[in-house]
Chain A
Amino acid sequence: MKSLADLEAIRKKTLDQVTLRKDEDSVRIVVGMATCGIAAGARPVMNAFMEEVAKRGLENVTITQTGCIGMCRLEPIVEIMVPGKEKVTYVKMSPEKAARVVAEHIVNGNVVAEYTVGAAE
């Protein structure tokens, strides 16, 4: 290492791996992983989110699980919370849909309306 830029590169690269230990506000992706969610295929959905986030090197995104929120028929359910914005709930998710949500919602800030709970009702 010979420059501050090299140092910064290492910092950036490692930051998204440790960022969930910091107190800062981050985008939270919450996957419903109760029995109903897992049965409906929540695990591949979560894996898809993790792959997408890693692939794009997104900082400040955390992926967590939660229990059943009561709408078992709409599982896999994923909630996305962006600091300062209202929570968005996506239903009947799939790995392909997950990739689109990351690209459009998390990266570009456009909610994918057709996957949300509002559209399903």
Chain B
Amino acid sequence: MEFARGHVLVCGGTGCTSSGCEQIIKEMEAQLKANGLEKEIKVVKTGCFGLCALGPIMIVYPEGAFYSRVKVEDVKEIVEEHLLKGRIVKHLLYNETVQEGSDEIKSLNEVQFYQKQMRVALRNCGVIDPEKIDEYIAFDGYKALGKVLTEMKPEEVIDVIKESGLRGRGGGGFPTGMKWQFTAASSGENGKYVACNADEGDPGAFMDRSILEGDPHSVIEAMAIAAYAVGADQGYIYIRAEYPIAVQRLQIAIDQAKEYGLLGENIFDSGFNFNLELRLGAGAFVCGEETALMNSIEGMRGEPRPRPPFPAVKGLWEKPTLLNNVETYANICQIILNGADWFKGIGTEKSKGTKVFALGGKINNTGLVEVPMGTTLREIIEEVGGGIPNGKKFKAAQTGGPSGGCIPAHLIDTPIDYDSLMAIGSMMGSGGLIVMDEDNCMVDIAKFFLEFTVDESCGKCTPCRIGTKRLYEILDKITKGQGTLEDLDRLEELSHMIKEGSLCGLGQTAPNPVLSTLHYFRDEYVAHVVDKKCPAGVCKDLLSYSIIADKCKGCSACARKCPVGAITGEIKNPFVIDTDKCIKCGACVETCKFGAIVKG
């Protein structure tokens, strides 16, 4: 590889791929060639930078110029002005990096989105080319594996992980070092396995995908370290087939590591052997549950098994198996290299290190963020996330996906860590964070998540299979204005029965969205049941549209827009809506220039 004076980093994560980064890379290469710069400037396709809302993203080094929402037409200008003549194209930069009245651009770390972030698991995402093992090695890759294999005993490795206080990032928060110790302590006469749970299924979560797309080697290296520590020689990464880019990059990474002898026989001449294979899942949510995941790897139907025995004792093919989540693994090498004390220094008393969140919903900076544990929800939403669009009011945040709960506005200063979230009836979950504003109906949100769990329940145990269906039906009834106050008690009672009676984590946590919204937003439920009103104006059956005669100018714009001809009237006289015909699509409200149409 030649020395290049400039590097153009283009995000190749799934977010930017769908907003067209491939064409941009092609155009960039063509333009560089046309200007004779192809040997001076290197184009690198990286993993996710995190600011998915602003994609496609391009960063030009050494200046660190951050171009956002790049269009194919912009590439020519960037090449001719910036790369050829050294003049940064200011009007295409991410506007937060531009300083008024100065030619200096702000470095990325000074931008509000990155300021509060601390990137440990995501350290290489958006920095290296994930398809080149050499770049990973240049950023200290495989150094931790080398250190472990040549200088440390397996027990010492486990001690470091235990000492660091790292807890499982998949949602449960079980201490990782303990898990390693249990697996190491199990008899391994017939072999042991390590496995990686990359079956990320929560609606709105994409942390693991971004790590695998941006830095696949960090997971591979960590799995080799884990295998050495627990005494395994075979590993599996269980990843959903819906993540084609991640699957492809992982396979490339595994092949490259094998070629370099970093996977396979006698690694670093230490006598340690480790092989790693991918197993693709068909995308059933329940396969993120550890015992169902193992069934699926074995080629059986993805249904959970009763626990105990835990995987550390009897896992894959009844042999001891260590199963960790992608993000958990992504922390391991940094802990080995920097020491347990370094890791312990980040975060709160019982939750160490950082956590990656996928920010979604009603938030300006939709994307991927990594913050130290203990950062408050307010900091994440208002500072890192850039607040809520259109000046709307924050209502609640949903963490933990279908297993988690809602955090209402008055708890926005809660520090985000495992225990604080548990205490307020939510959970860390894998890291999906969905922000809701005043236009979201909490009953509708609960119904949305229940609809998801009804679909995804595997059907093996009755409380989950039938219970979630009944929960959904009651919620549906309430959103249609047919609920009674007794239904609210029934919701609660049924929720507790499902939690106690279900076989696996899916059923045990499925009622959480109902319980937490009932707890914090009971008045909204009551409004649906007693007043037959949806305060947020979401539940269609409880809505009616009407025209305020005083404000209506009689322009007929709404009548022309209405798809069912429910609006009638004479020009220059107030129009009226026939509520029997109205399908409550809301098109008229958007059309009216005078704010004469109200819903309520």
A14: chain B residues within 8 A (beta carbon): 1, 134-135, 137-138
Chain A's closest residue to B138 (CB) is A14
CB contact list, B479-523 vs A, under 8 A: none
CB contact list, B17-37 vs A, under 8 A: none
| Selected contact of A33 from candidates B86, B141, B142, CB within 8 Å | B86
B313 within 8 A of A: no
Main secondary structure of the interface of B (DSSP, over half): loop
B560 within 8 A of A: no
CB contact list, B140-174 vs A, under 8 A: 140-143, 146, 150
Q: How far is the CA of A50 from the CA of B42 in the complex (A)?
A: 13
B146 touches A7 (CB 8 A): yes
Main secondary structure of the interface of A (DSSP, over half): helix
B231 CB to closest chain A CB (Å) equals 22
B9: chain A residues within 8 A (beta carbon): 21
| Selected contact of A46 from candidates B5, B62, B260, B266, CB within 8 Å | B5
B62 touches A67 (CB 8 A): no
B284 CB to closest chain A CB (Å) equals 39
B420 CB to closest chain A CB (Å) equals 32
Q: How far is the CA of A113 from the CA of B86 in the complex (A)?
A: 27
CB contact list, A50-97 vs B, under 8 A: 50-51, 53-54, 62-67
B134 touches A13 (CB 8 A): yes
With A50-B5, A64-B6: A3-B268 Cβ-Cβ less than 8 Å: yes
A11 touches B269 (CB 8 A): no
Which of A15, A35, A46 has the most chain B CB within a 10 Å cutoff? A15
B149 CB to closest chain A CB (Å) equals 9
- A8-42 vs B: 1/0 string, CB under 8 Å? 00110111111011010010100101110010000
CB contact list, B36-92 vs A, under 8 A: 40, 42, 61-63, 84-87
Q: How far is the CA of A4 from the CA of B368 in the complex (A)?
A: 34
Chain B's closest residue to A28 (CB) is B62
Q: How far is the CA of A59 from the CA of B2 in the complex (A)?
A: 13
| Selected contact of A11 from candidates B5, B127, B140, CB within 8 Å | B140
Chain B's closest residue to A17 (CB) is B1
A53: chain B residues within 8 A (beta carbon): 3
A11 touches B3 (CB 8 A): no
- B542-584 vs A: 1/0 string, CB under 8 Å? 0000000000000000000000000000000000000000000
A21 touches B7 (CB 8 A): yes
B1: chain A residues within 8 A (beta carbon): 14, 17
B150 touches A7 (CB 8 A): no
- A82-119 vs B: 1/0 string, CB under 8 Å? 00000000000000000000000000000000000000
Q: How far is the CA of A71 from the CA of B465 in the complex (A)?
A: 79
A31: chain B residues within 8 A (beta carbon): 86
B4 touches A7 (CB 8 A): no
B85 touches A65 (CB 8 A): yes
Q: How far is the CA of A13 from the CA of B133 in the complex (A)?
A: 12
B139 within 8 A of A: yes
| Selected contact of B262 from candidates A1, A16, A34, CB within 8 Å | A1
B261 within 8 A of A: yes
B128 within 8 A of A: yes
Residues of B at the A interface (CB closer than 8 Å) are 1-7, 9, 40, 42, 61-63, 84-87, 109, 127-128, 134-135, 137-143, 146, 150, 260-262, 266, 268-269
Q: A3-B268, A7-B142, A17-B135 are in contact. List 19 more A-B contacts (CB 8 A).
A: A2-B261, A2-B266, A7-B146, A10-B138, A10-B260, A11-B138, A11-B140, A18-B128, A20-B6, A20-B62, A21-B127, A33-B84, A38-B85, A46-B40, A47-B40, A62-B5, A64-B5, A65-B85, A67-B85
The 6 A-B pairs with the shortest beta carbon distances in the complex, nearest first, are A65-B86, A54-B3, A14-B138, A63-B5, A62-B62, A14-B134
Residues of A at the B interface (CB closer than 8 Å) are 1-4, 7, 10-11, 13-18, 20-21, 23, 26, 28, 31, 33-35, 38, 46-47, 50-51, 53-54, 62-67
Give 6 A-B contacts (CB < 8 Å), ordered by A residue: A11-B138, A17-B3, A17-B4, A62-B61, A65-B85, A67-B86
